[in-house]
Amino acid sequence: MKTTLFAVLLAILGKCCCLAQPSKVVYTQFHILTEIGGNAGYFVDSTNELSHLDIAKIPDSKFRKIPDKIINLGFSPSRIWFKFEIENRTNEVLYALFLAQDIDYIDAYVVSEDTTYYTETGTLRPFNRRYFSLNSVVLNLGKQPKYLYLGLKDMNGLVSQIELGSIRPLVNRVYRETLINAFVMGVMLLIALFSFFMYFTLNERTYFLYALHVVFSALTFLSFEGYLFDFFWRDMPFMNNGINSSLIRLCALLTSIGFSVAFLNIKQVLPHLHRLFQGLGVLATLIVLTKLMGIQKAEMVFNIVVLVTFFSYLIVGFWLYQHGFHPARFYLLGWGVYIVEILLIVLTLLNVLSFDHIFTYYGYHIGILIQATFLTFALMDRINTLRQESVEAQELAMKRLIENEQLVAAQNQMLEKKLEQQPSANEDLQRFLKMMREEREKVKKIPIATLEGVLLFPVADIVRIEAMGSYANVYFFNRQKMMASRSLAEFEQQLKGYDNFFKVHKSHIINMNFVTKYVRGDGGSVFMEDGSEVDVARRTKTDFLRAMGLEN
């Protein structure tokens, strides 16, 4: 896979290329693909005018040997020609597969005993010039190839893997790549849709910024893998001139900055860093604009800004986690794995590691997949944390409100006692005192924790409460129902001071003021005013009948 995202360090690669002759590629195992990049010799055409026939006349002594296992020559405004000498010791037709899907220009000259031809392809040339209609370029070398000349030119840095093999391993490789890419894109699509859904449901701006970041990350992935060309503009190769890719990557970076600032609440917690992130966004935008004006070195500078920004996410996230912001742990895992994968790919491009390992060859796939997954976890954890803090704050407010109500009720009771002790208390005063007591009972309220927060409800309106695991359904006299995020046991403790509530069953508390009928039986059952029937447990039957005045 072509990894232009990580070309930042390619410019520091030394041109330590020896003048030794390139080695011949001998293909003997028809069931595997063989990497041939390290067998090539290369010649830099600084004029950009030499044809394939001119290159074929250049002696081998003029070709420098590729010093690495893959073609990795960094940025160059020149067309670079590669020469491969090939010997096929099988009876299969051979093909050359480019694992870099976004090379701008590929000029291929195949010299073979059974097929010799010249073709021009690449992302800046029509898609229909490809031998197979794939996102990857494939060349037919015939059964008896002798030489393969490749002229490559790319404004984003020349990094490419080329594999040689017969049709069976080639199809297997393409099939596997397609499945993996489809899986990655499927997960990214689901995460994006989920994030947009959460945004419209919760009206939480952080979800919207994250959804946009996932979308642009997915578009970056599609661009690197050549699918934008394949799916959207096959007849418009000029769309692959690097402008779209640069703008997509810029949008991915800017949305990641917006998401991180919102998620970590940097504007309020660390306002100076907020201005720093704004500056990084502006700087990245200016760099991309200079690249669009044709300055190739801007690509390297842009990648440096990207890496600095990503590392700053880790530093700020770790600091906030240390200071008690626990959702940052998933945020750190997401960006941490992503950055580790980037570093692994960079080390591979520097030939410290090999592309043969799954964590290097599929490094970008793994990075964006794990990043998107953990950042989704981080968002969910953040929402849960904020909701819990909100519930706790509401519960505290409700607790203070109830305490005030109890204080007022106690004062009213003292007033009632004093009035009753008055020798002149007449019948009208007694009726007034009775009415005061009844009204006080009616307006008594209890806090009920729901999924949306803590709400106050008049106790007298509750008909029954039914257990639903760690939750409970509360039924009211107007036939309304509400799910509370409290267990029945918690309600039992909360209603201890109310004589009209009775737990008739392990799954039911009823308000005896709403009982319309009792049916005898082993434990029996009661009918409520809302039309429901509730079983009475045998162990609670005696106490319940006594409370209802039905002992006889």
Note down pLDDT in tens along the chain; length 552 residues: 444 444 433 333 333 344 455 688 999 988 999 988 888 889 999 898 999 999 999 998 888 888 777 777 777 788 999 999 999 999 999 999 998 888 889 999 999 988 899 999 998 999 988 899 888 899 999 999 999 999 998 876 777 889 999 999 999 999 998 999 999 999 999 999 999 998 888 788 889 999 999 999 999 999 888 888 888 888 888 888 777 888 999 999 999 999 999 888 888 778 888 889 999 999 999 998 998 887 767 878 888 898 899 999 999 889 888 877 788 888 999 998 888 888 887 777 666 766 667 777 788 888 888 989 998 888 888 777 766 656 665 665 566 666 666 666 666 666 666 666 665 556 665 665 566 555 555 556 777 766 566 677 778 888 999 887 778 888 888 777 888 878 888 888 888 878 889 999 888 999 998 999 888 888 889 999 888 899 999 888 888 888 888 775
8 A C-beta contact, residue 476 and residue 463:
yes
319 and 188 belong to one structural domain: yes
Whether residue 380 sits in one domain with residue 284: yes
Number of domains in the chain: 3
Final residue belonging to a domain, choices 111, 138, 165: 165
Do 159 and 179 lie in one domain? The reply is: no
Domain membership flag for residue 433: no
What CATH number should be reported for the domain holding residue 458?
2.40.50.1020
Is the four-CA dihedral 110, 112, 115, 116 of positive or negative sign?
Answer: positive
**Domain's final residue, options 326, 361, 390:** 390
Q: Are residues 100 and 212 in the same domain?
A: no
Phi-psi region of 376 (alpha: psi -120 to 50; beta: other; left: phi over 0): alpha
- Assigned domain for 347 exists: yes
| Whether residue 101 is found in the same domain as residue 238 | no
CB 317 within 8 A of CB 263: no
Same domain flag for 23 and 61: yes
Among residues 144, 165, 186, the one where a domain terminates is 165
Query: Has residue 398 been placed in a domain?
Result: no
At 184 the pLDDT is: 92
Whose tokens are 């257990």? That residue is 467
**456 and 539 part of one domain:** yes
Instruction: For residue 472, give its domain range.
Output: 444-552
- The pLDDT, as a whole number, for residue 16 is 38
Query: Is position 500 within any domain?
Result: yes
Residue 349 has a pLDDT of 64
What are residue 444's phi and psi, to 5 degrees?
-60, 135
Q: Is residue 242 part of a domain?
A: yes
CATH number at residue 158: 2.60.40.2380
Regarding whether 42 and 145 lie in a shared domain, the answer is: yes
Residues 173 and 434: their CA atoms lie apart, in Å, by 87
Report the candidate in 403, 379, 14 with the shortest Cα–Cα distance to residue 214: 379
> In this structure, are 192 and 125 located in the same domain?
no
Asked if residue 405 is part of any domain, the answer here is no
Q: Do 478 and 353 reside in the same domain of the chain?
A: no
In a domain, 64, yes or no: yes
Whether residue 469 is found in the same domain as residue 552: yes
Please indicate, yes or no, whether residues 32 and 85 belong to a single structural domain of this protein: yes
CA distance 412 to 399: 20
Flag whether 438 is in a domain. Answer: no
Q: What is the pLDDT of residue 223?
A: 87
